[in-house]
Amino acid sequence: MNILEKQTSQTLLPPEREAPSCCRRCAISCCLFPIWDNQAPPLCEKEVTRIISFTGRTDFFHREEARCTLKAKANGFCHFFDETKRICRIYAARPFDCRIFPFDFFAVTREEGWWLIWDCPFFQQLDSRSTEAILTFFESTYAEEIIETWDYGNQQYTHALMEAWNEGDGPRPFRFLRRMKVTPAFPIRAPIR
């Protein structure tokens, strides 16, 4: 029985209270944003409200027009990442983009998107059945967040990595999993069975 099969169907992923131990020991840091492309995680309005309620702070995000992103410290780490303990200080209230990591999505058009998974120690624990269960869980639980952050699924960073990989410039740090069942053109609000 793998790590995910031990979870109930409602909590396919690690507990909401703290990151799994493989994350705390990881040398790759998903909490280090690629600041050269300003690719901090996007925030939905309800996430901004949830984090304000959780922390009492309002200085953790950037707003450009209708789009919000988490702020990074000068060294590129997330505003809420404790570098000494290697933990997220708001793990229970973390944004959608952080909740689904190492999964991510790539928006091709308004009708087509692809789930992908970044190479990390947590990913290496997953089998295909668990992976599909997680994607189905995301689509049924986070449809609203997927739609609201859709344009971020076309990140310049992901595009640049794909172009470099297609030109043979090194290993691809992620792999595509399957087409998404939820897109702005096909929003699904009810649980997928």
**Spans of all domains in the chain:** 20-94, 102-193
- What was the pLDDT predicted at 16? 53
Range with the poorest average pLDDT among 39-43, 74-78, 114-118: 39-43
Distance CA 134, CA 151 (A): 22
- Asked whether 42 and 97 are in contact (CB, 8 A), the reply is yes
Q: Which residues pair with 104 in a beta bridge?
A: 116
- What was the pLDDT predicted at 167? 62
Range with the poorest average pLDDT among 43-57, 90-104, 168-182: 168-182
Inform me whether the pLDDT recorded for 172 exceeds 70. no
- What was the pLDDT predicted at 153? 59
- What was the pLDDT predicted at 163? 63
pLDDT tens string 44-67: 888 999 999 999 999 999 888 777
- What was the pLDDT predicted at 9? 35
- What was the pLDDT predicted at 154? 57
* Contacting residues for 21 by C-beta, under 8 A, at least 6 apart: none
Q: 83 or 188, which is more confident?
A: 83
Secondary structure element (H or E) that encloses residue 151, with its range: none
Could you give the count of Cα atoms lying within 13 Å of 141 in the half-sphere of its Cβ?
Answer: 14
Inform me whether the pLDDT recorded for 10 exceeds 70. no
- What was the pLDDT predicted at 132? 92
Which residue do the tokens 């984090």 mark?
51
Q: 73 or 11, which is more confident?
A: 73
User: How many other β-carbons are positioned within 10 Å of the β-carbon of residue 20?
Assistant: 15
Query: Global pTM?
Result: 0.75
- What was the pLDDT predicted at 54? 95
Give the three-state DSSP class for 24. Answer: helix
Q: 40 or 140, which is more confident?
A: 140
Cα end-to-end distance, the chain, whole Å: 23
For the chain, what percent of residues have pLDDT higher than 90?
16
- What was the pLDDT predicted at 115? 92
